[in-house]
C-alpha cells in the first residue's frame, strides 16, 4: 500500500529526474506531519479511518511521519530502486495533535 502513496510517487519522479540528468543516485525524502504544512497531510491521512479505508492510504495512516531513503542502481538502460522506510512510533505520537504535538520541544 505504501508504494501507492503520492509521496512515494513524488520520490520516484525525483529519482527519475536525477537519473536522466546525472544527479544523485542516493537520497532521503522524509514524509513529515510536523508544522503547519503537516496539518493538511495529517487530516488527509487520518480521514482514511473515517471512510473505512475507502479514501487515502491505510499504510500511511498507520505510519504517520516516516523517513524514506532510496538508492538507485543503474545498469545500461535500466535502473533498480531500493526504498527503505523507517518509522518510530509510540502512543505519544498517536495521541498528539498536529502542529503543537509534533514539535521537538
Say which range, 1-5, 72-76, 88-92, has the weakest mean pLDDT: 88-92
Task: Encode pLDDT of 24-54 as tens digits.
Answer: 999 999 988 777 777 777 777 777 777 777 7
% of the chain beyond a pLDDT of 90 = 41
Cα dihedral 64, 67, 40, 3 sign: negative
Mean predicted confidence (pLDDT) in 100-104 = 52
Cβ atoms of 69 and 50 closer than 8 Å = no
pLDDT at 13 over 80: yes
Phi/psi at 12 (nearest 5 deg)?
Answer: -60, -40
pLDDT at 100: 52
Amino acid at each position: 500500500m505504501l508504494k501507492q502513496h503520492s509521496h512515494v510517487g513524488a520520490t520516484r519522479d525525483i529519482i527519475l529526474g536525477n537519473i536522466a540528468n546525472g544527479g544523485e543516485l542516493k537520497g532521503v525524502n522524509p514524509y513529515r506531519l510536523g508544522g503547519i504544512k503537516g496539518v493538511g497531510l495529517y487530516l488527509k491521512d487520518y480521514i482514511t479511518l473515517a471512510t473505512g479505508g475507502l479514501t487515502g492510504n491505510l499504510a500511511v495512516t498507520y505510519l504517520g511521519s516516516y523517513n524514506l531513503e532510496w538508492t538507485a542502481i543503474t545498469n545500461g538502460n535500466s535502473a533498480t530502486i531500493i526504498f527503505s522506510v523507517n518509522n518510530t512510533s509510540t502512543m505519544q505520537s498517536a495521541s498528539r495533535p498536529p502542529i503543537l504535538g509534533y514539535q521537538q520541544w
